[in-house]
A = this chain, B = another copy of it.
């Protein structure tokens, strides 16, 4: 599993449960963070007098790495800068290399639109394009090494119904929710979000009753499938 996160912490709130489920089942997971979110999304750190971008990056690196470790994932920061995040050709090559190296079967990305964030759509488009560049065209030979096409899902935006996010995949993360809590706990500079996303997981669990979930399903993460699925049974 490969997760492409715009900022140091995005993957934690929206996808830590999916990662933990994957690694708990014996899979490997890698989180590529395009930036540390050092300028725009490091919240409380910028309340400290004399704060610097470098110091924030160091703290966010440590937090992100710890959070990834809590759910059993490798942490690969690309340090491309934030507000605005940009992904020039050289950065795109590094991202494609991460795909080629990890050969993921599942790819988790930001949703394509987010009218409340300047960097999330950039990260989403970069992750989508990197996938196509790493796959080539439908399995035919190419001038470059290719990987089999990974399934791709968008994780839930902070404001889902402002982003046209239409979740179609509800993932029961109850069994690993302690791991998600630990990962959220590692993001000390945005502690105010942990409660919000615990509630969110409960709300999604509640909605899952309409999909047949029983009371034992207490925490759910929502995703939107971005690629068709090839199946051998409905």
Given contacts A44-B141, A132-B116, A169-B234, contact A203 B208 (CB under 8 A): no
A161 interface hit (Cβ, 8 Å): yes
Asked if A185 is at the interface (CB within 8 A of a chain B CB), the reply is no
Copies held by the complex: 6
For the complex, give the distance between the alpha carbons of A211 and B226 in Å.
Answer: 12
Chain B minimum-CB-distance residue to A144 = B39
Task: Indicate whether A230 sits within 8 Å of B159 (C-beta atoms), given known contacts A39-B142, A143-B53, A210-B116.
Answer: no
Residues of B within 8 A of A194 (CB): none
Q: Which residues of A contact B (CB under 8 A)?
A: 1, 18, 21-22, 25, 38-47, 51, 53, 56, 83-84, 92, 106, 108, 115-118, 128-129, 132-133, 136-144, 148-149, 151, 153, 158-162, 164-172, 190, 196, 199-200, 202-203, 206-214, 217, 222-223, 225-234
A-B CB proximity, top 9 nearest: A46-B141, A118-B132, A39-B143, A211-B230, A43-B140, A138-B209, A138-B210, A139-B209, A161-B161
Having A1-B234, A139-B212, one finds 13 other A-B pairs with CB under 8 Å, namely A25-B233, A38-B143, A45-B141, A83-B144, A108-B234, A117-B137, A138-B210, A148-B212, A153-B234, A159-B207, A161-B161, A199-B199, A211-B227
